[in-house]
Amino acid sequence: MSALALTLILGVQPALACSCHMGEAAQKLENSARVFLGTVIRVEHLGTRNEVGDENIAVYFDDVEPLKGAKIEILHTADNQAGCTGYWFKTDQRYLIYAFARGAQFDTMWCGGVIPQSGNVEAFDSEVAELGELLARERTSEK
């Protein structure tokens, strides 16, 4: 039986593949328009969906510490279910965000663009420390 016939019979939807590994901290820093630490204070569901069907959201941050680029307090992304962009943001949680520009707004990717402090504190602290070292080296080399 062909895969198509089996899919039609079982009603199974083909999985959407997402290969969006962003690399290590140095590569993510270089390729991101904004990098910051922030605590989510509100997640607003916008009532629209992106191209893969994920709900568009606006994520509002407080206690923002910009590490690269100007300070931003709102991220326009998706409540990730199927695509590469977005994340499952929770209020009162602190995150390290690697953001890219999408027009005049900023978005992120779940597979490396969002590091939750509550997930693995050691990994979070390690990546923040590594970013600090990378940024210190950049400042030193600019002098």
Q: What is the pLDDT of residue 10?
A: 38
8 Å CB contact between 68 and 29? yes
The end-to-end CA distance of the chain, in Å, is 67
Distance from C-alpha of 97 to C-alpha of 76, rounded to nearest angstrom: 12
Q: What Å distances lie between residue 126 and 14, 50, 92, 116, CA to CA?
A: 37, 33, 21, 12
Residue with tokens 């690697």: 98
How high is the pLDDT of residue 130? 95
pLDDT digits (tens, 9 = 90+) for 47-63: 988 887 788 889 999 99
| Full-model pTM | 0.80
pLDDT at 11: 40
Domains in the chain: ranges and CATH: 20-142 (2.40.50.120)
Does residue 79 contact residue 54 with C-beta atoms inside 8 Å? Answer: yes
At 67 the pLDDT is 96
Beta strands in the chain (DSSP E): 34-49, 55-68, 74-79, 94-102, 105-108, 114-116
Residues in the chain where the model's pLDDT stays below 70: 1-22, 81-84
- Report d(CA 87, CA 98) in Å as an integer: 12
Q: How many CB atoms lie within 10 A of CB 69?
A: 14
Beta bridge partners of 68: 35
